Amino acid sequence: MTVYAPPLKDLRFVLHNLIGLDRLAALPGFEHVEADLVDAVLDEAGKLLTDVWFPLNRTGDIEGSQLRDGTVVTPAGFKDAYEQMVQAGWLGIPFPTEYGGGNMPATIVTAVTEMANATNPSLAMAPALSQGALDALLEHGSEELKEIYVRRLMTGEWTGTMCLTEPQAGSDVGALTTKALPADDGSWRIQGTKIFISFGDHDLTENIIHLVLARTPDSPPGTKGISLFVVPKYLVEDDGSLGESNDVKTVSLEHKMGIKASPTAVLSFGEEGEGSVGYLVGEERMGMRYMFTMMNNARLAVGLSGVALGEIAYQNALAYSQERVQSRPIGAPEDAVTPIIGHADVRRMLMTMKAQVEAMRALTLENAFALDMARNHPDEETREQYRLYADLLTPVSKAWATDLGIEVTSMAIQVYGGLGYIEESGMPQFYRDARIGAIYEGTNGIQALDLIGRKLPAGGGAAIMGMVGNMKAIDGELAAAGDRFNSMRTLLADGVAALEQATGWLAMNGMQDPNQAAAGATPYLRMLGTVAGAYFLAKSALAASKLLEEGSPDKEFLEAKIDTARFYAEQLLPLGTALLGPVTAGKETLFAIDPDQMGH
């Protein structure tokens, strides 16, 4: 039996004190984003998710989605739980009002998405995939395509998928072979097999809109020859009603270690006839670029699953550690006993979980805020600056937060001890569910390569230099904030100096030999995430200190913010700083041994 309470207090703290709701509300189009509205959104979404989605999380894991007679059946209750979110209008909140959306800033949507991923990560994937499809259609689709598909994807009446992967084309999307042939009526005929298609089939909605990458005739090989198509499960008649089946067959479902309620399908397009009917999105051979539009929000959303599973795992571990009485505290009389939270090593685990969740939450919300600024700020230069910043943060949100999600859910198992290994405790599911985050939407290794290869050098390194500058800029405030901030200040300065040095090394050496930079990509991403986490927590602590000075009544919570930042700086940050060595050690030892000589 697991517990969950929406982390409203911490979400509000970040939104108000790290991001600044006023900065959001100052953006054209977001004038309605006032504190009361945001409070209502978080309250109501949190309540619905906790009441309706959360109770199905474990039953969904046990039952799983099943393929029966060619159709996917989701676990009992899922269809109703999905529909309740649709009915309440939650799925449309990220989208423009012109198509019936709620026009909520990404920052607020991110807070809601975190809660969805905590209460039911399998079910939370359905709207996340729709959002990817919608982003691509809104940005690149024709008015006709938008008219037919966007509204019903937006409300959640239909869902979307992203059909990229094929058996020979995983990380290497350019190796895909699915074919698209032009038809006389301007549409296309799609033939091929796609694998690992999340919510590729299900019974939540009447139609499913597949966004399919395929190769048109005479296209160049590799990613330059890829185009993006809309392929509905059922064709849509002119009056908007559903027509005949579009020859999209669910071949099989995968047996996964986690997120078992989320169906992962092998889909065969156009197996029986001339091909499934597809409609080109945007221009031919631009599919790879459009794919990144689909994936970018998805990457942040995957990162949120790390925050979310970390949060729920932490909540349960914290509750258990307060109930479970075991052993006497060190130094106490022989017959004394304590809830295990009284033991130093348990407290270390809990504080690590707490600090990491708060650091991840701050980073992902900052990432979302950067997206809002990049889209809505009136000044073009500012928009571009924030676009670079959001681009820089996205692979970190995705990879660092999912890696930490795995670590934090593992710690919850550890706090539970033997019980944590028993499925009924719920802890194994959090851990199993969290593990996919490091893999899909581009493995964390791919994220690290994206970070060092594309995001660091973009705009002449403006984003990373800006970020390092911001980190340095709080040094004076930390110095002035008193003794409790001393270790934070010193250790953050060490971390930022190491980050700067590592960044410089990658830039210098990567220019001469990209493999030198690639060799350090993964430790660099971890380092950036860890140092950024320390920075956001230090900022939180400064904000808390200021509120305390102003006489805020929320004394304990704000004091805890300062203590958490200090814990992070002393206990977790040094391992980020120490990655300077591994980042700059270069490729030599990685490649020294011939692959044939690597066995034991």
The residues in 502-521 that bind a second copy, with binding defined as CB under 8 A, are 513-515, 518-519, 521
The interface mask with a second copy, positions 131-170, x = CB under 8 A, is ----------------------------------x--x-x
177 is a contact residue toward a second copy (CB under 8 A): no
The values of phi and psi at residue 505, to 5°, are: -60, -45
Longest dimension (CA), the chain: 87
Paired residues of 485 in beta bridges:
none
Q: Is 441 a catalytic site residue?
A: yes
Alpha carbon distance 366, 359 (integer Å): 11
Contact window for a second copy (CB under 8 A) among 4-12, 24-32, 77-85, 529-537: 4-12
- Identified binder of a second copy from the candidate list 20, 423, 476, 501, rule CB under 8 A: 423
Residues 380-409 that bind a second copy (CB under 8 A): 406
For tokens 């079910």, name the residue: 123
Contact window for a second copy (CB under 8 A) among 18-26, 34-42, 64-72, 431-439: 431-439
Alpha carbon distance 8, 55 (integer Å): 19
Alpha carbon distance 533, 81 (integer Å): 34
Nearer to a second copy, 280 or 408 (CB): 408
Alpha carbon distance 312, 5 (integer Å): 8
Nearer to a second copy, 481 or 579 (CB): 579
Residues 464-493 that bind a second copy (CB under 8 A): 487, 491
Nearer to a second copy, 144 or 335 (CB): 335
Give me the amino acid identity at 450: D
Alpha carbon distance 439, 454 (integer Å): 20
Alpha carbon distance 281, 211 (integer Å): 9
Residues 194-233 that bind a second copy (CB under 8 A): 195-196, 221-222
User: Taking the complex as a whole, how short is the minimal distance between the CB of residue 28 and a second copy, in angstroms?
Assistant: 32
- Identified binder of a second copy from the candidate list 449, 464, 471, 496, rule CB under 8 A: 449
User: Taking the complex as a whole, how short is the minimal distance between the CB of residue 180 and a second copy, in angstroms?
Assistant: 21
Q: Say if CB 270 and CB 191 are below 8 A apart.
A: yes
593 is a contact residue toward a second copy (CB under 8 A): yes
Residues 523-582 that bind a second copy (CB under 8 A): 523, 556-557, 559-560, 563-564, 566-567, 570-572, 574-575, 577-579, 581-582
User: Taking the complex as a whole, how short is the minimal distance between the CB of residue 299 and a second copy, in angstroms?
Assistant: 16
Q: Which of 441, 549, 559, 570 is catalytic?
A: 441
Give me the amino acid identity at 576: G
Q: Say if CB 110 and CB 364 are below 8 A apart.
A: yes
- Identified binder of a second copy from the candidate list 276, 296, 410, 540, rule CB under 8 A: 410
Alpha carbon distance 401, 407 (integer Å): 10
User: Taking the complex as a whole, how short is the minimal distance between the CB of residue 561 and a second copy, in angstroms?
Assistant: 10
Give me the amino acid identity at 122: S
Contact window for a second copy (CB under 8 A) among 99-107, 470-478, 542-550, 588-596: 588-596
The interface mask with a second copy, positions 287-326, x = CB under 8 A, is ------------------------x--xx--x--xx--xx
Q: Residue 40: CB partners within 8 Å, gap ≥ 6?
A: none
Alpha carbon distance 147, 94 (integer Å): 18
Task: Kindly state the helix (H) or strand (E) to which residue 44 belongs, with its residue range.
Answer: helix 35-48
Q: Residue 490: CB partners within 8 Å, gap ≥ 6?
A: none
User: Taking the complex as a whole, how short is the minimal distance between the CB of residue 384 and a second copy, in angstroms?
Assistant: 28
Nearer to a second copy, 347 or 383 (CB): 347
Contact window for a second copy (CB under 8 A) among 249-257, 268-276, 279-287, 454-462: 249-257
User: Taking the complex as a whole, how short is the minimal distance between the CB of residue 554 and a second copy, in angstroms?
Assistant: 10
User: Taking the complex as a whole, how short is the minimal distance between the CB of residue 555 and a second copy, in angstroms?
Assistant: 9
User: Taking the complex as a whole, how short is the minimal distance between the CB of residue 402 and a second copy, in angstroms?
Assistant: 11
Alpha carbon distance 106, 118 (integer Å): 18
Nearer to a second copy, 99 or 568 (CB): 568
Residues 332-391 that bind a second copy (CB under 8 A): 334-335, 337, 339, 341, 343-351, 354, 357-358
Residues 23-82 that bind a second copy (CB under 8 A): none
Q: Say if CB 57 and CB 63 are below 8 A apart.
A: no
Give the residue from 133, 576, 599, 83 showing the smallest Cα distance to 359. 576
What number of other Cβ atoms are within 10 A of residue 498's Cβ? 20
Give, in degrees to the nearest 5, the angle at Cα 403 between 308 and 522.
Answer: 145
Total number of residues that touch a second copy (CB under 8 A): 112
Q: Residue 264: CB partners within 8 Å, gap ≥ 6?
A: 196, 197, 198, 200, 253, 254, 256
User: Taking the complex as a whole, how short is the minimal distance between the CB of residue 462 and a second copy, in angstroms?
Assistant: 24
Alpha carbon distance 278, 228 (integer Å): 9
Nearer to a second copy, 296 or 564 (CB): 564
Alpha carbon distance 37, 153 (integer Å): 25
Contact window for a second copy (CB under 8 A) among 63-71, 90-98, 248-256, 388-396: 248-256
**Residues classed as catalytic:** 441
